[in-house]
């Protein structure tokens, strides 16, 4: 049995059945980017319906204020996500909202509002007694902190790549193929992007050591992952733009990465000849 299995978490993404409701101790979502055309709000709504959690963490960039400043876009599904989260809070689920860099303005409203708490970071204790630091992650992104103009420029390039995804996946769905992200592919293939992700993960772990925690969970870089880095477990819950992933803690303490397809794969329909219809 590997060390990863022994430590009580899974790196295998699951594909939950929409008909069944799963009960978990906690759930983490990040980087939904509501207000953009590339946000997969429908997939997130399926996740929020499928999972009943005792605690919900929104780990930043729920709303993309950067994009909303460029142009207004707010369909009903984006409003449905907000309403679904508020409904969970009204039903007694504590919701911890940790603002990111795209919705940083929310941090000015830090405090508790019923079952909703807005704060810069949180400490989550698992059922096994492990302490986990929860942050968005932009605090340790040197570009975001020291050259915001470059971060804005990078975001424009990222949005351009994302804008190509619908056309690409339109043709893929016509052939019964699953969702594929050009921007995610580029991120995995470009050496500088790969190096940035690696250095970001190491910086996050070094930061977590200051809080004397066993694990750190973040979002920000849209790269879902579970790694053991030294004595600290690194979790990234991904995003709802490309990967459509979240993290959940099961009642037994197992932390799992769950993945939802951005677009359901439609079954291919075999053409029926006139002769088959006539003699059916």
pLDDT single digits (tens) 190-236: 444 556 677 888 888 888 888 999 999 999 988 899 999 989 999 99
Catalogue the long-range contacts made by 177-184 (C-beta closer than 8 Å, 24 or more residues apart).
Answer: 177/265, 178/261, 178/263, 178/265, 179/261, 179/262, 179/263, 181/242, 181/243, 183/158, 183/242, 184/222, 184/242, 184/243
Q: What are the residues whose beta carbons fall under 8 Å from the beta carbon of 212, sequence distance 6 or more?
A: 131
> Could you tell me the pLDDT band of residue 174, with boundaries at 50, 70 and 90?
confident
Q: Which residue has the higher pLDDT, 135 or 6?
A: 135
- Buried residues in 228-261 as b, exposed as e (16+ CB within 10 A): eeeebbbbbbbbbbbbbbbbbbbeeebbbbbbbe
Residue 160, pLDDT > 60, answer no
- Asked if residue 55 lies in contact with residue 124, where contact means CB atoms within 8 angstroms, the answer is yes
Which tens digits make up the pLDDT trace of 75-131? 999 999 999 999 999 999 999 999 998 898 899 999 999 999 999 999 999 999 999
């Amino acid at each position: 049995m590997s060390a990863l299995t022994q430590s009580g978490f899974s790196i295998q993404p699951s594909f939950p059945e929409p008909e069944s409701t799963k009960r978990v101790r906690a759930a983490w979502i990040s980087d939904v980017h509501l207000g953009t055309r590339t946000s997969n709000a429908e997939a997130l709504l399926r996740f929020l319906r499928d999972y009943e959690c005792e605690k919900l963490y929104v780990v930043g960039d729920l709303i993309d204020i950067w994009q909303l400043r460029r142009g207004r876009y707010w369909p009903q599904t984006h409003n449905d996500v907000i309403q679904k989260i508020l409904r969970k809070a009204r039903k007694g689920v504590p919701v911890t909202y940790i603002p990111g860099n795209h919705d940083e303005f929310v941090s000015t409203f830090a405090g508790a509002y019923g079952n909703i708490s807005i704060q810069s970071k949180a400490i989550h204790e698992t059922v096994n007694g492990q302490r986990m630091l929860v942050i968005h992650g932009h605090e340790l992104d040197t570009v975001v902190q020291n050259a915001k103009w470059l971060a804005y420029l990078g975001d424009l390039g990222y949005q351009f790549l994302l804008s190509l995804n619908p056309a690409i996946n339109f043709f893929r769905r016509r052939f019964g193929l699953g969702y594929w992200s050009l921007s995610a592919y580029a991120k995995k293939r470009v050496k500088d992007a790969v190096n940035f992700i690696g250095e970001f993960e190491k910086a996050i772990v070094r930061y977590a050591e200051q809080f004397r925690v066993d694990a750190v969970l973040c979002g920000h870089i849209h790269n879902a992952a579970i790694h053991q880095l030294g004595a600290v477990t690194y979790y990234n819950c991904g995003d709802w733009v490309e990967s459509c992933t979240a993290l959940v803690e099961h009642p037994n303490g197992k932390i799992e990465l769950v993945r939802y397809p951005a677009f359901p794969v439609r079954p291919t329909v075999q053409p029926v000849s006139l002769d088959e219809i006539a003699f059916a």
